[in-house]
Every structure is written in structure tokens, then in C-alpha cells.
Chain A
Amino acid sequence: MNSLKLVFAVAKNSYKEIIRDRILYGILVFTVLLIGLSRVMGGLSFAEQERIIVDFGLAGVHISVVILSVFIGSSLVSKEFEKRTVLTLLVRPLERYQYICGKFIGFIAVIASLSIGLFAVLILITGAFENGFNFTMLYTLHGFILESLVLASLTIAFSIYSKPIISVSFVLGVFIIGHWLDNLNYFAKSSESKVFRFMAEISNYIFPNLELWNWKSQAVNREIVPFQQFLNANYNAIAWTGIFLCVAVLLFRKKDCA
């Protein structure tokens, strides 16, 4: 119980830290503008107005969640080393794994709040149209949050030992590969190169398939997401997040905090 309280205290402080950071508001303004732009883009089409608005709007929310996960996540822990605030935290009865968990929970709470807030803006815009909102959009939002769990935990793991710029580069690399894994597998199947097929096979184990949590096209086309697929996607996200957080904790346990 006491252990949970410590994690909660770190999470609350981490939440405050990000919420009071101006960068967050920059991202927020950018996304609201992007969602607003979706309305303008929708106006250019006669028949597909709602689809374009939903597509653009969801893309706006997705981009902001990714930017937040990667850019703010990369400095979340490293900033504490740089400014040496971590020194006074770790001499408290706080274990290093509790610190990592607290930081992560606070960060995810911000991402979830931001995603829900932006989604509400999107609903306000699409709600003005007949058939503008559909239930699959909620699945899509959930998918964004699942993706952000994985990206945020990966960013934290990288940032234990590397500088923010390096962490951002690594995670953006994983983001690109993660969204291309399905294409990679498709090309590998039709390739004659054994090495290429082997590399594609290995990639499935070392990179998370980020398309698993992408239900944007289903929301645009008003398709239902099968429940089993939804469930599997959740398990998958939790497993990858768990792995990356364990790596972060293991790396942090051996780190000198000078």
C-alpha cells in the first residue's frame, strides 16, 4: 500500500511537471488547428465531407499523441539527471522501479487527458454533421492511447542512458519500422532472398507492430473492429509496455546517478 502511495506521489508530480510545461500547450494549439483544418478540407469535398473530417481529425490527434510520447517522454527522465533532481528523490524510501513506474503513470495520465480532450474537440466538429461521429472512433482513440503506452515506455527505456535527441531518433526509427512491419512482411513473403525473409521474421520479434493499434481506416469507413482483434491488441500493447518498462528498470538499477 505504502509502495503504491510512493508511486502515486511520483506520478502526481510527473503529471504536474508536464501539465505546467509550455511545450504541451504548443502541441495542443497545433492539433486544434489541424482538427480545424480538417473542417476546411472537408468543405472542399461534396460527397466525402464527413470522411475527410474524421480522417484528418483523427490524424491530428494521432500526431499530437506521438509527438507528446516521443518528445516529452525523451526528456522526462533525462531532465531529472541533467538537473540532478533525481538525487534528492532516490535517497528517499523510494525504490528505483517505483520511480520509473511513477514517472510512466504520470506521463500516461497526461497523454490520456490530452487525447480525450482533443477527441472531444473532434467530436464537437464531426457531431455537427449527420453521420459524422461513429463508435469505431472511440476504438481508434483507445488505439492511440495503447500506441502511446508502448512508445512512452520505449522512450523512457532509451532515455535512461541516452540524451533526448538520441532517444527521439531511436524511437522515431522504431515508430517508422513499427508502422511498416506489415508491409515488410508482405514483401518478405514474396521475396526470394532468405536473408531478407529472416530479417523480416526477426523484426516481428524485436519491434512492436504499431499497425495493430491503428483503427483509423475502420473509423473512416465506419467498420466494426472485431472484439477478439481489439482484445489481442490490448494484450499486445500491455506486453510490449511491460517489456520496455522492465528494460528501463533493469538499466536504471545499474545506473550511477552522479
Chain B
Amino acid sequence: MSFTVPLSWYLVLSAIVFSIGVAGVLLRRNALVIFMCIEIMLSGVNLSFIAFSRFLHSMSGQIFFFFVMTVAAAEVAVGLAIILTIFRSRESVDVDEVNLLRG
């Protein structure tokens, strides 16, 4: 592998992945799939962290990946518990049906 991939390719790939995640959050109505799409968005950001870490010769990006990953794990645990509670009370995980806060 003599050819090194330039930084901007990684950043564009990261933007593509992030945009797919945003599209999923906006288009889907299943709360579980929305959570997966949030994970995709976090992954896109993580990719640019690691790419910058490589091209800036710094370890801070990788350390930051670790913390993003931990927060994502905590968020998934709490979020899935919330979805479980919503499912128990409404028999559905469709976010359109969770409209208790509508004025």
C-alpha cells in the first residue's frame, strides 16, 4: 500500500455516513431504527476523529473516540429502557403515536 488515502476522502466518507444517519432519523418512524441511525451518526463522527488523529499525529482523537463510545453505550442502555417502557404502555414503538406532549 504505497498509495495513501488523503484526509479529505475520509472526511467526505464521514459526511456521507453522518448524512445517512440523519436521513434515517428523519424518515423512519420505528423508534428502534431511529436509535440505530443515531449510532450511525456517531460512527460517522468517530471516523473523522480517528482520521484527524492519524493525520495530525496525535492520540487525542483516539482518546475521544473512547469517550464517545462510552457515552453511546450509556445512551443506548437508557434509550432502550425508555423504548421498552413506551412499548409496555402503548404496545407500539412508532414515534408518531407517542404524542402525549402535543398541545
Are A and B associated in one complex?
A: no
Interface residues of chain B, those whose CB is within 8 Å of chain A, are none
